[in-house]
Structure 1
Amino acid sequence: MKVVVTNDDGPDTPFLRPFVEAVKSLGYDVVVVIPERPRSAAGLARTYHKPLRVRRQGDYYLVNGYPADAVFMALKLIAPDAGLVISGVNVGENIGLEATYGSGTVGAALQAGILGVPAVAMSMEVGGDVGLMRRVVEALLRSLNGALQGVLAVSINIPRDWGGGVYCARKLARGVYNERLYDGVDPRGEKFYWRWGPRREVFEEGTDAYYFYGLRGITVLGIGESGIVSAGKLGRSLGALIGAKIISC
């Protein structure tokens, strides 16, 4: 099967090469189509106001648009026979309502699902174990038989210090960060604003943030036309294959 690999971090992310190698190691034909530069937090943004262009850089196809544009170009032009799209592995987790729907990584997977191609978004907390990431990727690919039916995309998040569990979240945390606006004046005397805030410490039980930050679990989240949907079959298989101590799916 041909697999399209995309991301929202561009060609220079440290996770791209080991991610592609993990997929290739299982015998898949991999086509890498990614934005030419980092496009984090782009969500499902698409380009309509200027021409899209694609160029080769080594083994990669680089697109001058957003992650969703890269997927559209991949499935309509470069690899229309692809049977799966995997987006990531994102540098940093995508947990909670804002991060999930605002993520370019997840947005790319959703674009594939909208076009009728099964898709998974994968993200890993900064400082995460690349070896664990490879195990999760390999387990994911061995778990796909019928596991993506009824979903547009699945979002998987890997914590830095894995607590041994795999959890199928059915609810997104509403607020993950206590954000506010900071203001300042630049060297030219012009005022600017900066949005920032620390992450919360306590999260509602049953949310993706509770499983990820509280229990340090790998989270598996299905996204469908009506919102969050079950991805239990995929989660159970993935958890068994990586030897999870707890599988709550």
Structure 2
Amino acid sequence: MSLAELSNARARIGGREVLSGVDVRLEAGELVAVVGRNGAGKTSVLRAMLGLLPLTGGVAWLAGDDLARLPERERLARAAYLPQERRIAWNMAAVDIVALAMPLLPDAEAKDRAARVLDDLEGGHLADRGVADMSGGERARVLLARALNAPGQALLLDEPVAGLDPDAQLFVLDRLRREADRGRGVMLSLHDLTLAARVADRIVVMADGRVVADARPATALAPEILRDAFGLNGVWIQTEAGPTLAMGRRSQGA
């Protein structure tokens, strides 16, 4: 049974169809990267899988149930979401932000658990600092901790490494890989194809609101897909560390 799934999903924003007959799923124990050019539908897929973007056709499923029939509290119990927008309205302490993911726990227990999650993300020193007084990278780590602290088995993250330095990007992706290895289903949107190829079990390639590939990295990012979906020349190279994706921009008329 999928943790989250779209079946023939269609959705519109304004007058534009942003999802056109999309089929995509997230299973327990896997990490799925959703990639595509700007406007391809990456964020729309994640939001539709959580009911944050209403469908005009098709069905969204969450842990086997029709999402449209689930009350909001049940949705929150089954899935967690990290939006791309990192703004927080109030200058709350980081530990309090992370504790918001567990509203049914007693306050002391929720804060204790939040502190442990921050420590695990090497953000324990941020626990008592207000989020408005942090750098963008520090705030991103706090919001990731909140998502990881949520009870849902499905974890959907929109550009979780955007704005982070390279070392922090690899740290976050390795941490998400560990969540999948522990049995959660992790789906994240990424712009960096080399990072997607490095970490994902499957890659979903979006173009114009449609899924044009959904397969293991070497198949999903095959040369013809890189050419058609991204306008890139690409090839997989075998190295001592394993297959590596090498890419370059296509010249005009190529």
TM (norm. structure 2) is 0.32
More helix as a share of residues: 2
TM (norm. structure 1) is 0.32
More contact order relative to length (CA 8 Å, sep ≥ 6)? 2
